[in-house]
Structure 1
């Protein structure tokens, strides 16, 4: 039996569950006061002096006054809950709040780049969700509703997708196809290929923060106690091996947990209008991304993932903050055909399949190393020689490392282009591919220096609304040809 769709042309209220989140936030902000009164209620103190009692009473009055102010400022959140209405009118998403001072937030539908639904355990139990609406005009979430009926949110998500797709591209294809899903074996492969060094650094940072907490609680004795316990350990080969093994096991366990939290039950469906991604373990999330908002796509693999055939695909959206992980989605792709199906919605044909490869100038491999790294390494080696001669090998090894990595970076930097798109392959120990449709370019820049002009070279920078792409040390004629093609597409799109 088909359910009745929500009529979003009529103002809709928030779910009553939003009150729970408001109360929870109030308690969180006032936990110090609450803890004090709980302790005072259960712990009896013998106060013999009148001055002590007077000071205690003054403290209570002060805390009560502070609590009254906090409650007063929290009341507006309760009022806002009862007076919040959201609806669609004239291709605009409208939110109205307030009693005496009314506030109306209007979001044009064509500015919406994604709608994000998040469900924690309270949301699941009450069949609600948090809805986040992100637009192209700002890097932060434009509209966030802490608790709205899940079915209503899904209906709104579909309406926004349909209205934007029709107004932008006149597309009528509503058939959705599931392009990917992850099995348990896929999750194991992802856990194995995780960046374990990053995981280990997170564990180390967490341990150090807890150690700082102990220092604040116990004072300076903490370091002495730890040093004493460490000195009592007889570090035999078996103990060291056991500690290393335990560290590896803990790191792998944390990597598995991170993969489960990030990729568990991930499913992606797509049509000509956009993509819908669902994932999560403790917290279920569902995000809708409109296809015409995608600026460029990229996929990358580290060394282990390259061996296992795993690629992490990412869509760069309009107005997205690339430094915030919660604003974009990393899709693990384990089959080449799935990658081609996903990219086909953005760019049907890869330039690398039909065009000849192009490379950067050989000076790209050594110039930065010789100009910047070599003098620093030489100066550090001389300084360290007078302090401890054998230590001077460290900057020398670092110089050789940079020399090798810059050479590898030059050898692996390849790009292809045709009349409509550009594809780049780059990386050092892993691989990264970037696919750009020239229609998405906002503006271009040609950067030169005296050295580049002498060699008839240039660095081409292509700016999109999602991110910028740089192609360094290429022939000036090729850079100019790509720039002209982008400018032609920009003018054609405006006309």
Structure 2
């Protein structure tokens, strides 16, 4: 790509498409207010408004001006936003009354996320999100910038070289892609309970919107519909079947939105991922930014041999799931291939496994689950003696869960890394290279101190790894091993 087209030492403006996106966001944020006004006018059907329609028009215009004033800073920021690269630093100027200048050294940039919606594709632009290790949030967000200009900036920032050398790009090798049959497997093995709860939450929020906009008592309407519904065995069975298929369909849609046409290419510096259905997204992963990796599978995915691989990056916002780098692994050899640059030899392949103390499996049941079950059983018994079955069932579930969690918690460690396997009904593996550890903490409760046990925490810039209920000697050895790697390797 020629570098003479754009001189990044000269501050660059946003694309005019960004203004359309800002206006669209303002409308999206403000539609409940406008809809409430329109809904009230329709329902009330006031005769005064009919005789003097200009009153309603001025009222709507006044509300529109108010909305624009509230979002005035976003509109002004579009015209004043400038971005440039000078002396190895990314510089962003923005703001009107309260001006801000953000300066980021290029070598501190952790990742660059490229997003293309349909509007971006039609206008040959894209959105850029630039993240660093210094904060959990997205450091810089560029709503719309020319695609060719964005690609040049991405190369310039990611590879940390002068623009004149960008033509010597590294060879890209595709190592995985998601096919349609893989999407079907992922949809079938989705967490359908979570999907069903999302559907319920969405339906409830929409009912509340109807209540606020039109003033209708949605709870009363729902009760009336339930009273009129057929609650026979066949009616309930039909309702369950319909709910099951709706849940499957929503799960399939979620999988398509998340993994459609996902592909991963590799070069010497890291990986590049591309995916998207309604909008195309690209994200580059530099190996030296990876803090630890994990892979997990629920009960169904474990049977199907599917794992979800996640890279924990420096400065990543752990709350924003959409920003997490997660890859569906359909074949075991891909897992080793993707983890190879981070850790060539896994501790589980050449060291003996170790388990935590047995009290990890029963302590929470004895000290927490049993008292809660006993206290809750009393009002259930007074209500109906047969209802005591429910707290007993919950107690049994918690007791089994805690014991299975203890049985599954296994760890291995070598001179350079530690690997942990844990879970209850599913399974999760964590692989941590000791030279990524920022600091180590050893904690103990009175119960643990009585048995010479502690919990060791290995803190990285991306996530904290915990090994609970191990001996003090073992924890101290792990801490010394981690700190030794940080100091000398």
Per the TM superposition, whether the score is higher than 0.5 is yes
Q: 3-state SS of the aligned residue for 1:444? A: strand
d(CA) in 1 for partners of 2:82, 2:455: 51
- After superposing the two structures, state which structure 1 stretch, 342-351 or 369-378, moved more: 369-378
**Count of equivalent residues:** 481
Matches within 5 A, 1:1-400: 6-28=6-28, 47=48, 67-68=64-65, 71=68, 77-97=74-94, 103-163=100-160, 174-216=170-212, 222-400=218-396
Q: Give the drift of 1:378.
A: 2.1
Q: Give the drift of 1:177.
A: 2.3
Instruction: Give the RMSD, CA atoms, in angstroms.
Output: 3.3
Checking the alignment, whether the CA contact within 8 Å between 1:110 and 1:164 is kept in structure 2 is no
> 2:165 maps to which residue?
none
d(CA) in 2 for partners of 1:316, 1:220: 47
Q: Give the drift of 1:137.
A: 1.4
Change (3 A) 1:490 1:213: same
Checking the alignment, whether the CA contact within 8 Å between 2:293 and 2:309 is kept in structure 1 is yes
d(CA) in 1 for partners of 2:35, 2:19: 19
Q: Give the drift of 1:323.
A: 1.4
Checking the alignment, whether the CA contact within 8 Å between 2:14 and 2:82 is kept in structure 1 is yes
Change (3 A) 1:372 1:127: same
Q: Give the drift of 1:404.
A: 1.0
Checking the alignment, whether the CA contact within 8 Å between 2:73 and 2:96 is kept in structure 1 is no
d(CA) in 2 for partners of 1:132, 1:278: 15
Q: 3-state SS of the aligned residue for 1:298? A: strand
> 1:169 maps to which residue?
none
Change (3 A) 1:36 1:303: closer
Deviations 1:190-238 (A, max 9, x none): 0000000111111112222233344456657655554444334443433
Name structure 1 gaps, 5 residues minimum: 166-171
Q: Give the drift of 1:122.
A: 0.3
Change (3 A) 1:273 1:7: farther
Checking the alignment, whether the CA contact within 8 Å between 2:312 and 2:325 is kept in structure 1 is no
Q: Does 1:485 align with 2:481?
A: yes
d(CA) in 2 for partners of 1:146, 1:220: 38
d(CA) in 1 for partners of 2:11, 2:399: 63
d(CA) in 1 for partners of 2:105, 2:447: 48
- After superposing the two structures, state which structure 1 stretch, 261-270 or 381-390, moved more: 381-390
Change (3 A) 1:225 1:387: closer
- After superposing the two structures, state which structure 1 stretch, 472-481 or 422-431, moved more: 472-481
Deviations 1:377-418 (A, max 9, x none): 223224433332221222122112111111111111110001
> 1:453 maps to which residue?
449
Change (3 A) 1:74 1:303: closer
Deviations 1:151-210 (A, max 9, x none): 221221122121189xxxxxx993332221100000000000000011111111222223
Q: 3-state SS of the aligned residue for 1:415? A: strand
Name structure 2 gaps, 5 residues minimum: 163-167
Checking the alignment, whether the CA contact within 8 Å between 1:173 and 1:272 is kept in structure 2 is no
d(CA) in 2 for partners of 1:186, 1:459: 39
Deviations 1:397-442 (A, max 9, x none): 2112111111111111110001100000011111100000001111
Q: Give the drift of 1:75.
A: 6.1
Change (3 A) 1:491 1:208: same
Q: 3-state SS of the aligned residue for 1:397? A: helix
Q: 3-state SS of the aligned residue for 2:160? A: helix
d(CA) in 2 for partners of 1:272, 1:480: 36
Checking the alignment, whether the CA contact within 8 Å between 2:211 and 2:218 is kept in structure 1 is yes
Q: 3-state SS of the aligned residue for 2:401? A: helix
d(CA) in 2 for partners of 1:409, 1:48: 66
Q: Give the drift of 1:63.
A: 6.3
